Amino acid sequence: MQGMMMHRDLRIIDILTYAAEAFPDQGIVSARDEGDVNRLSYPEILGRVSQLAHGLKKLGVKEGDRVATLAWNGHRHFELYYGISGIGAVCHTLNPRLPAEQMSYILNHAQDSVLCVDLSLIGLVEALKGDVPEGMKIVVMTDRAHMPDTSLDVLCYEELLDGQPTDMDWPEFPETTAAGLCYTSGTTGNPKGALYSHRSTVLHALYVVAGHPQSLSSGRRALPVVPLFHVNAWGMPYTAPLAGMTMVMPGRFLDGASLYDLMQAEEVYTAWGVPTVWAGLQAEIEKRGNKPPKGFEDLVVGGSAAPRAMIAAFEAMGVNVNQAWGMTEMSPIGTRGLLPEWLKSASKDEQIDAKTGAGRRLFGVEFKIVDDDGNRLPHDGETTGELYVRGNTVIRAYFENEEATKAAFDADGWFGTGDVSTVGEDGRLIIRDRAKDLVKSGGEWISSIDLENHATAHPDIAACAVIAVPHPKWDERPVLVVVPAGDKRITLDALHDFMSDHFAKWQLPDDIVFVDDLPLTATGKVSKLTLREQFSDYVLPEFRESTA
Ligand code: AMP
């Protein structure tokens, strides 16, 4: 028997029309490329989004067309999220940190018909030297007065809006209609596209609002440092208006001092981003007498594991830290922080230990962990296996890429994350490693994440990464690549002493090598691929003489 309820297709634009009605005093504050700070309420933004939608239609954008964005976090980028999807087209976010070659590959793979680019990023489009889809129009996201001097044939964003009606009869279409496209950061092979629908995006926003009640509450201010150009800024452009929050958009300056000043001036309550960014803010806070910016109480960290020392430092400043874990292919969030009730019953040390995990499973995302043969393993918090996920916010295929699709799913249609994890009975997720980042020594796994987390707590280590080096007896051994914090070079003995409480002797690194910087991927994570390439000729100390 069927239920007898209405069916209304879920549409992204309904989030914004709701926010404009329910939270008219909230909106968006943007540090812009033009150098000013812009303020718009949700009703004002909705008016501009309507103008943009009319302007895009005038440009010839139709349902299903891909419109690319190459931009920092700002109100115009947010407007594009809603204006493009509102008319049934697809908002394709491009990552400015990608090399030109990959950017061209992505633009041509997606066949974008329009590219909207921030003023400060126009040089990246010039560098593509015309290797873009034929007939693609370029819109610079600024006003006439700030239009850049460029050899490219460009249109002006504000002129696209000028004179257009501030209201719109938003079209209806099936909720499974494509709305957003984001390519994975390309840590392995060519980037692969995740094509989000209206349905998956709205459900993701609802799941995340339900799962993060503390970080997302009306009247408060949220700072997405996580970029709108990658994984929808963890969905914040949808969750913040849905929850009635004002978004503070940082633009292109993401160093500790710029973030501190903006957060202080705008009284940001919650800030979301990857650990590398928070390391910069942490150093800045320490420089300014350990005083966090005014009103800053909540930090959501994800994208890679947050080191224990960083969590402890922010918690000591009175900032509540939560990890979120997810993937481009998952819209992206799959977990939330820990239960406040549980945290209340734990000691501070236990709380911080628990916060080094990835948090608890969100409603709507199913987990299973499996062994090498695909057999399910227990969710007992101890057994380790590869994590597979399933749900309305997870991709069912990659965009026009059969080969990658074939490799990504198991026979039952679950998506393989490549994350080696434990899952607790309460859905608590601990990521032990990326499958390919684990060090396998004598048939036993060593978690490079664990080693890195503990090593970064040492005062002489600013940043570090573990690589697996081939070993004739043990298969692989871990080596620690270290960026020193000052002039002192930590010795292997000192490192072992420092870490021996947490690790068995065989788990400790065999060597330390020093570097000035760690290579980063386009999304700010340490690129293990590049690091492995850099050290492909590396020989462990015990074999140096015999190979010399
Ligand atoms: P991306 O698709 O670029 O967002 O990368 C997704 C991958 O980042 C995941 O599969 C994890 O390996 C890693 N990741 C994301 N969040 C976390 C976290 N909180 N802890 C550890 N790894 C994470």
The overall average pLDDT reported for the chain is 93
Query: Ligand 1 pocket, 302 CB below 6 A?
Result: yes
Of the residues 34, 159, 342, 445, only one is catalytic, namely 445
pTM above 0.75, yes or no: yes
Q: Which two tokens stand for residue 245?
A: 């929050």
Query: Ligand 1 pocket, 332 CB below 6 A?
Result: yes
Output the pLDDT for position 547.
Answer: 46
Q: Which two tokens stand for residue 291?
A: 């005083």
The Cα 31–Cα 36 span in angstroms is 6
Q: Is 137 a catalytic residue?
A: no
Q: Is 506 a catalytic residue?
A: no
pLDDT range class, residue 34, cuts 50, 70, 90: very high
pLDDT range class, residue 189, cuts 50, 70, 90: low
* Residues of each domain in the chain carrying CATH 3.40.50.12780: 8-25+40-196
Cβ–Cβ under 8 Å, residues 380 and 425: yes
Q: Give the position, in ligand 1's atom list, of the atom nearest the Cα of 417.
A: 10
Query: Ligand 1 pocket, 356 CB below 6 A?
Result: no
Asked whether the predicted pLDDT for residue 473 surpasses 80, the reply is: no
Q: Give nearest CA residue, ligand 1 atom 9.
A: 327
Query: Ligand 1 pocket, 227 CB below 6 A?
Result: no
Please state, in angstroms and as integers, the Cα–Cα distance from residue 457 to each residue in 310, 313, 450, 472, following that order: 8, 10, 11, 31
| Cα 69 to middle of ligand 1, angstroms | 23
Query: Ligand 1 pocket, 431 CB below 6 A?
Result: yes
Q: Give nearest CA residue, ligand 1 atom 1.
A: 327
Nearest by Cα to 357 from 387, 335, 385: 335
pLDDT range class, residue 187, cuts 50, 70, 90: very low
Output the pLDDT for position 252.
Answer: 97
State the helix-helix crossing angle for 348-355 and 308-316, rounded to 10 degrees.
130
| Cα 328 to middle of ligand 1, angstroms | 9
* Residues of each domain in the chain carrying CATH 2.30.38.10: 367-435
Query: Ligand 1 pocket, 327 CB below 6 A?
Result: yes
Cβ–Cβ under 8 Å, residues 541 and 511: yes
| Cα 431 to middle of ligand 1, angstroms | 9
Query: Ligand 1 pocket, 273 CB below 6 A?
Result: no
> Rounded mean pLDDT of 269-278?
92
Least confident of 116-125, 177-186, 276-285: 177-186
Q: What is the DSSP letter of 393?
A: T
Please state, in angstroms and as integers, the Cα–Cα distance from residue 419 to each residue in 255, 429, 431, following that order: 29, 11, 6
Peptide bond into 484 cis (omega under 30): no
CATH of 8-25+40-196 given 3.30.70.2190, 3.30.980.10, 3.30.1330.10, 3.40.50.12780: 3.40.50.12780
Q: What is the DSSP letter of 490?
A: -
| Cα 304 to middle of ligand 1, angstroms | 5
Architecture of the structural domain at 367-435: Roll (2.30)
Mutate to test the pocket of ligand 1, among 335, 398, 419 (most ligand atoms within 8 A of CB): 419
pLDDT range class, residue 546, cuts 50, 70, 90: low
Of the residues 440, 444, 488, 506, only one is catalytic, namely 440
Asked whether the predicted pLDDT for residue 95 surpasses 50, the reply is: yes
The Cα 512–Cα 477 span in angstroms is 12
pLDDT range class, residue 186, cuts 50, 70, 90: very low
Output the pLDDT for position 340.
Answer: 84
Q: Is 542 a catalytic residue?
A: no
Cβ–Cβ under 8 Å, residues 272 and 231: no
Q: Give the position, in ligand 1's atom list, of the atom nearest the Cα of 330.
A: 2
Output the pLDDT for position 373.
Answer: 85
* Residues of each domain in the chain carrying CATH 3.30.300.30: 445-546
Quick one: which H or E segment has residue 483? strand 475-484
Residue owning tokens 């994208």: 303
Q: Is 474 a catalytic residue?
A: no
The Cα 70–Cα 371 span in angstroms is 40
Query: Ligand 1 pocket, 527 CB below 6 A?
Result: no
Query: Ligand 1 pocket, 429 CB below 6 A?
Result: no
Asked whether the predicted pLDDT for residue 325 surpasses 80, the reply is: yes
Output the pLDDT for position 548.
Answer: 44
The yes/no answer on whether domain 445-546 falls in CATH 3.30.300.30 is yes
Give the ranges where 325-447 is alpha helix by DSSP (H): 340-345, 348-355, 402-408
Cβ–Cβ under 8 Å, residues 19 and 244: yes
The Cα 361–Cα 338 span in angstroms is 10
The Cα 212–Cα 481 span in angstroms is 35
Asked whether the predicted pLDDT for residue 445 surpasses 80, the reply is: no
